[in-house]
Amino acid sequence: MITIITLGIILCLIIIIRIVKQPLRHKRIQPSELPYYLEILRNRGYSGGFIIIQNMKSKQFIQFMKVITPENRIEIHSSFFPVKWLQQFMEKIKGYLSDNNIPFKSFFSNEGLEGIELNLGDNVKLCSKITIDINTLVFGNSNDQLLFTLWFENVSVRDEIITTINS
């Protein structure tokens, strides 16, 4: 009897540990759902709040950050960080951005690795298009592989619109 109770307790602990280890803020989303979640960032994010969108079938991700300017203008920025795994894609990313007339700035880390910064205004549809296109055209994922996991950080859980830095 004690053995069964002990096994039950151990099983419960294992389940709890597995649940706790999961990211607290994530959703699995289809490409068609991206604009909805990017609007959550644009509307409910605090300045500096961000969303990480990762293809579930790879480790590749794209991050967008909400910036509220001193004039209280809302902008969505994105960066392709100067990290080793991304270097093999930099020329393709720059080509894609140039071909689609999306302005960007290149920068280099102290180690000489290239990164790219984007200011996308508050254009949620453009952010969604960039996410899908970079995943398919640059990272080489097929459309049927596009199922995303995302994480929000510094975004209000209430249905409110954050329009100033001091909100």
CATH code of residue 76: 3.30.1460
Residue 69 pLDDT: 94
Examine residue 109 and state whether it is found in any structural domain, yes or no.
Answer: yes
Domain that holds residue 94: 25-155
Examine residue 88 and state whether it is found in any structural domain, yes or no.
Answer: yes
Examine residue 5 and state whether it is found in any structural domain, yes or no.
Answer: no
| pLDDT tens-digit series, residues 48-105 | 999 999 988 888 899 999 999 999 999 999 999 999 999 999 999 999 999 999 999 9
Residue 167 pLDDT: 62
Looking at the 3D structure of the chain, how many domains does it have? 1
List the one residue out of 35, 19, 40, 57 whose CA is nearest residue 153.
Answer: 40
